[in-house]
């Protein structure tokens, strides 16, 4: 079982190279998303940014983890990714260093997250770009597959419930 303490201890690197841990987001509701700039689901950036703007003042953040594992749809450098996200989608939420979410070299944060089952009861590998893990303040994690849009009523309800708790 994944715990918030286990997640918070994981080392992460920001897009600009700053070393930190997931614990930087302690006390917040966090939507972790593996992102890609050249994917058919890339327009989800707009909804992710809308969530960030709507809820950041209440203790919520989106955290993007670029990943190039799915048909090489995130080929750019960290600088190129940052430029694309800010200019094209107006992204203000934290973006991390490009990582692997599956297989050999899977980032330790994702080693924990993939243990979480989705609504259908399936755990395991990330299926595609824009898979979402909603990490609640109490450590509960809800998993949403890539085609579930960030503004899906189930995601909004879970964010609202955690922020109101």
Which residues are tagged catalytic? 39
Distance CA 96, CA 17 (A): 8
Residue length of the chain: 165
Distance CA 47, CA 53 (A): 10
The secondary structure of residue 57, as a DSSP letter, is G
What sign does the dihedral 18-36-22-136 (CA atoms) show?
Answer: positive
Which residues are bridge partners to 95 per DSSP? 64
Distance CA 156, CA 153 (A): 5
Cβ–Cβ < 8 Å for 134, 30: yes
């Amino acid at each position: 079982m994944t715990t918030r303490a286990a997640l918070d201890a994981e080392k992460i690197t920001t897009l600009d190279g700053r070393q930190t841990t997931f614990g930087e987001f302690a006390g917040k509701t966090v939507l972790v998303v593996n992102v890609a700039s050249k994917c058919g689901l890339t327009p989800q950036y707009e909804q992710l940014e809308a969530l960030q703007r709507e809820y950041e003042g209440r203790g919520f953040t989106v955290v993007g983890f670029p990943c190039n594992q799915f048909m090489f749809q995130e080929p750019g450098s960290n600088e190129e990714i940052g430029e694309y996200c800010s200019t094209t989608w107006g992204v203000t939420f934290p973006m991390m260093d490009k990582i692997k979410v599956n297989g050999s070299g899977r980032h330790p944060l994702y080693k924990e997250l993939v243990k979480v089952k989705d609504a259908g009861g399936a755990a395991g590998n990330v299926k595609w770009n824009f898979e979402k893990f909603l990490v609640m303040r109490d450590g509960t994690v809800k998993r949403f597959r890539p085609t579930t849009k960030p503004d899906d009523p189930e995601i909004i309800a879970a964010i609202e419930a955690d922020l109101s708790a």
